[in-house]
Chain A
Amino acid sequence: MTKLTIRGNMATALGAKLCRPDVIPAYPITPSTLFPEKISEYIADGELDAEMIRVESEHSAMSACIGASAAGARVCTASASQGIALMSEMLFIAAGMRLPIVMAVGNRALSAPINIWCDHQDTISQRDTGWLQFYAEKNQEGLDLMIIAFKVCEDKRVLLPAMVGIDAFVLTHTIEAVDVPDQKLVDEFLPKYEPELRLDPEKPMTFGSFGTPEFYQEFKYMQTEAMEKAREVIDEVFAEFKKKFGREYRKITPYKCEDADVIILTMGSMSGTARAAVNKMREEGKKVGCCKLTVYRPFPAKEIVELTKNAKVVAVLDRDISPGFGGALYGEVSAAFVNEEKHPFITNYIIGLGGRDILIEDFEWIYERSMDVIKKGRVEKPVQWVNLNEEVL
């Protein structure tokens, strides 16, 4: 194992390279551009034996991914923001055709107004495409989750594509120390991809063919069942990964939640800052914990209920917004509790949109709002915006 100090984009590119992909169709977009740059460098330097396809749009990038994957190749790509929005149509097709493509995402806000900085709107908006979704807290997780994603996706019980999200700039452009697993170990962990059926001119067949009303619903049911199966496969792969590489991953990772009255739920790079904030507040005697979601699809509803059912308030942080509702994660956490007899107050905080820095003080503010809820015994404002500068409104 070697230790390198590298940017997040390089971590995901290196993670991809260790998986020995055969085909990488990609269209560069900020903040993911370094990914295709690194991949083409690896190929040019002879470190990676693969085909890089330069396409004219993200829609074409995903189309090429689908074709290559159907032909039996191990395929990855990278994108962000508007690129993912343009891909949307093909994302549904990749999942419906049950192709285990892995995409590294530099999570970035969507226009308008144009913004190249971090939030989770791009991937959250694609949550219904049928792709698995992983979110990394740091560069190490970005690298590891690429390997984990391929292993989960290529499992015969799953056969679905996955997105691995690393936060724009906060991770994509930030240099951190990363343990790089040995190629030999990765090869043992992730054997060659051998699909049962593949596109082959010698033996022609039709992929993703017509689904009439008599059958379409059954196709979708099969696809949904595969996503359900992914739950146990993810746990198995996490366990195997820990055995092989020593690093532990969980769908949700709690921190100081055992006796916490308030549990703050986070996703992505803000999770580290949340832990630092919890440490500080714990020293002040506040009963607060936090929990990071690494897997967003399939949604770990059971795990979240189990962890938070005895807390008084669950504060759900969303780096995304569904106008007319609130944050996506908030909706899903609330839904997870709907048939439970007893549940905590569930509140929502919209935070860090378009690269607004997320500070320790923000978590303290959220804790104070949660204590207000406990004192009053009711939630007056379920959805609140954190660090909103009302002076410019």
Chain B
Amino acid sequence: MEKTVKKRRIFLMEEIKMYEVRFHGRGGQGAVTAATILADAAFHEGKDVQAFPMFGVERRGAPVAAFMRMDTKPIDIKTQIYEPDCVVVLDPTLMSVVDVTKGLKENGKIIINSSKDPKEFNLGKGKVYTIDATEIAIKHGLGTKTNPIVNTAILGAYSKAVGNVKIESIEEAILQNAPRKKEENRKAAVEAYEKTRGE
């Protein structure tokens, strides 16, 4: 099954220019909200967008994924995302449980919430970026020390690493969508944007 799915998707990315992102987190960490805010930011830059959770049941703490698709043209397709252009890892402890690079394009980007240097990750493909979103989240009082909410900070890193959604748009989308602590969330994204490290 895996193989056929891969074959199916190749032409899509070559012929339909769109950008697809997969978020990895744990249930309750806000991966879906991150995908939503990113979609909203891209939408306000004039792109057509889709954002969706891993279809099905979500349980707190269990590994979950969320997806975002954007295009400068109206998006017709409703398929799930198999070969993302970018992967965002909200929780680095997931990397021993889930293959976060699964289906990632050869020249794709991986953004990891980690205090390590990108060079320390040897994932075999993709370009790695790191940001210590946990530290930033705690500093801005987002969540608790044991359960920091890093989904807004990591979007700042996305903007820096990928560059196809402006940090200003992400700030605006955070203010629109964050249920509480809007300003703290916005500041966290900006700080993460400034501190993102690439290979």
- Whether chains A and B associate is yes
- Stretch touching chain B among A61-69, A141-149, A172-180, A333-341: A172-180
In the complex, whether A222 has a CB less than 8 A from a CB of chain B is no
Contacts of A355 in B (CB 8 A): 55
- Stretch touching chain A among B35-43, B87-95, B104-112, B182-190: B35-43
Contacts of A176 in B (CB 8 A): 49-50
- With contacts A5-B40, A116-B57, A270-B78 taken as known, whether A173 is within 8 angstroms of B12 at the C-beta atoms is no
Of the candidates A116, A280, A359, which one forms a contact with B15 in the assembled complex, judged by CB atoms under 8 Å apart? Answer: A280
- With contacts A116-B56, A117-B56, A359-B79 taken as known, whether A177 is within 8 angstroms of B8 at the C-beta atoms is no
With A and B bound together, what is the CA distance between A368 and B11 in angstroms?
A: 18
Contacts of B77 in A (CB 8 A): 272-273, 276, 360
**Closest residue of chain B to A137, judged by CB?**
B78
In the complex, whether B19 has a CB less than 8 A from a CB of chain A is no
Convert B34-64 into 0s and 1s, putting 1 for each residue whose CB lies closer than 8 angstroms to a CB of A.
Answer: 0110011001000011111101110000000
B1-37 CB contacts (< 8 Å) to partner A: 1, 4-5, 7-8, 11-12, 15-16, 35-36
- Are B51 and A175 closer than 8 Å at their CB atoms? yes
- Are B76 and A273 closer than 8 Å at their CB atoms? yes
A269-308 CB contacts (< 8 Å) to partner B: 269-270, 272-273, 275-276, 280, 283
- Are A357 and B80 closer than 8 Å at their CB atoms? yes
Q: State the majority secondary structure of interface residues on B.
A: mixed
With A and B bound together, what is the CA distance between A117 and B57 in angstroms?
A: 10
Contacts of A270 in B (CB 8 A): 78
- With contacts A176-B49, A361-B8 taken as known, whether A5 is within 8 angstroms of B56 at the C-beta atoms is no
Of the candidates A177, A283, A358, which one forms a contact with B78 in the assembled complex, judged by CB atoms under 8 Å apart? Answer: A358
Contacts of B56 in A (CB 8 A): 116-117, 169
Q: State the majority secondary structure of interface residues on A.
A: mixed
B143-173 CB contacts (< 8 Å) to partner A: none
- With contacts A5-B40, A280-B11, A360-B8 taken as known, whether A173 is within 8 angstroms of B53 at the C-beta atoms is yes
- In this complex, which of B50, B56, B78 has the most chain A Cβ atoms within 10 angstroms of its Cβ? B78
Q: Interface residue count for A (Cβ, 8 Å)?
A: 28
In the complex, whether A353 has a CB less than 8 A from a CB of chain B is no
- With contacts A117-B55, A173-B55, A174-B51 taken as known, whether A389 is within 8 angstroms of B1 at the C-beta atoms is yes
Q: How large is the interface on B (under 10, 10 to 19, 20 to 34, 35 or more residues)?
A: 20 to 34
- Are B76 and A175 closer than 8 Å at their CB atoms? no
- Are A359 and B8 closer than 8 Å at their CB atoms? yes
Convert B102-128 into 0s and 1s, putting 1 for each residue whose CB lies closer than 8 angstroms to a CB of A.
Answer: 000000000000000000000000000
- Are A273 and B51 closer than 8 Å at their CB atoms? no
With A and B bound together, what is the CA distance between A276 and B39 in angstroms?
A: 21
10 A-B pairs with the lowest CB-CB distances in the bound complex, closest first = A272-B76, A169-B55, A175-B51, A174-B52, A361-B8, A269-B78, A276-B76, A5-B40, A276-B77, A273-B77
Known: A171-B78, A276-B16. 12 other contacts (CB 8 A): A3-B43, A5-B43, A116-B56, A167-B78, A169-B52, A173-B55, A175-B39, A175-B40, A272-B75, A358-B78, A359-B5, A359-B8
A-B contact pairs, 26 of them (CB 8 A): A3-B43, A5-B36, A117-B55, A167-B78, A169-B52, A169-B55, A169-B56, A170-B55, A170-B78, A173-B53, A173-B55, A174-B51, A174-B52, A175-B51, A175-B52, A177-B49, A270-B78, A273-B78, A276-B76, A355-B55, A357-B79, A359-B8, A360-B8, A360-B12, A360-B79, A361-B7
A interface with B by C-beta (< 8 Å): 3, 5, 116-117, 167, 169-171, 173-177, 269-270, 272-273, 275-276, 280, 283, 355, 357-361, 389
